[in-house]
């Protein structure tokens, strides 16, 4: 009986101590949370006052380019793809959107990047290195048409926007792609 009473008292004491610690912990975190919320609100307000002209319409650019250069069995490019397939430095990128074919017999790709201010040239250089690596893969005859399309790939930048387009194997002529890029970047 004494052991049961001792265990019950210990449990009661531990519960009381845990409750007090939790109360003081949550009381201390409330001001910090509200300070973060205030900072976030003020930074949101600052971002909202940023001119809309600085934001690149990546969805519109990609849609316009894919209307001319449809991507067969498209796979959306994600952070992993951008870093490990396209070999881009994420610190240079504000936002991006793009699709690449998921068809082994094709090579179509449409990719648009809004580079961080002053980083468009770095993104363009990295995309050129990626293009060169694709074009250098001429070891297998069955990839000759994909290599030829990669050699002719278009990398165009305007302001903070950089675009990479590789025509699909059965895709459009690059003259049509050039026209679409010029229209999309205006």
pLDDT, residue 127, reads: 97
pLDDT, residue 89, reads: 97
Q: What angle do CA 104, 109, 110 make, to 5 degrees?
A: 160
pTM > 0.75: yes or no: no
pLDDT, residue 41, reads: 39
pLDDT, residue 142, reads: 64
Q: What is the 3-state secondary structure (H, E, C) of the chain?
A: CHHHHHHHHHHHHHHHHHHHHHHHHHHHHHHHHHHHHHHHHHHHHHHHCCCHHHCCCHHHHHHHHHHHCCCCCEEECCHHHHHHCCCCCHHHEEEEEEEEECCCCCCCEEEEEEECCCCHHHHHHHHHHHHHHHHCCCCCHHHHHHHHHHHCCEEEEECCEEEEEECCCCCCCHHHHHHHHHHHCC
- Give pLDDT tens digits along the chain (186 positions): 444 444 444 433 333 444 333 333 333 322 332 333 333 334 444 444 434 447 899 999 999 999 999 999 999 999 999 999 999 999 999 999 999 999 988 899 999 999 999 999 999 999 999 999 988 876 666 678 888 888 999 999 999 999 999 999 887 889 999 999 999 999
Q: How far apart are the C-alpha atoms of 156 and 93, rounded to whole Å?
A: 16
- Enumerate the β-bridge partners of residue 90: none
Distances (CA, A) of 181 to 7, 23, 99, 142: 76, 59, 15, 29
Q: Can you give the residue ranges of every domain in the chain?
A: 1-50, 53-184
pLDDT, residue 64, reads: 97
pLDDT, residue 45, reads: 40
pLDDT, residue 137, reads: 74
């Amino acid at each position: 009986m004494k052991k049961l009473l001792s265990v019950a008292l210990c449990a009661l004491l531990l519960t009381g101590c845990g409750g007090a610690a939790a109360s003081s912990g949550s009381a201390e975190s409330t001001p910090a949370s509200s300070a973060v919320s205030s900072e976030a609100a003020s930074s949101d307000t600052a971002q909202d006052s940023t001119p809309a002209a600085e934001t690149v319409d990546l969805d519109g650019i990609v849609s316009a380019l894919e209307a001319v250069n449809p991507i067969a069995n498209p796979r959306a490019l994600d952070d992993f793809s951008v870093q490990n397939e396209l070999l881009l430095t994420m610190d240079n990128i504000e936002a991006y959107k793009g699709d690449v074919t998921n068809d082994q017999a094709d090579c179509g790709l449409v990719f648009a990047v809004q580079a961080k201010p002053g980083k468009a040239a770095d993104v363009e250089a990295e995309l050129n290195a990626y293009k060169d690596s694709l074009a250098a893969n001429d070891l297998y005859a069955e990839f000759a048409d994909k290599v030829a399309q990669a050699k002719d790939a278009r990398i165009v930048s305007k302001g903070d926007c950089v675009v990479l387009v590789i025509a699909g194997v059965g895709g459009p002529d690059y003259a049509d792609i050039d026209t679409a890029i010029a229209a999309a970047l205006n």
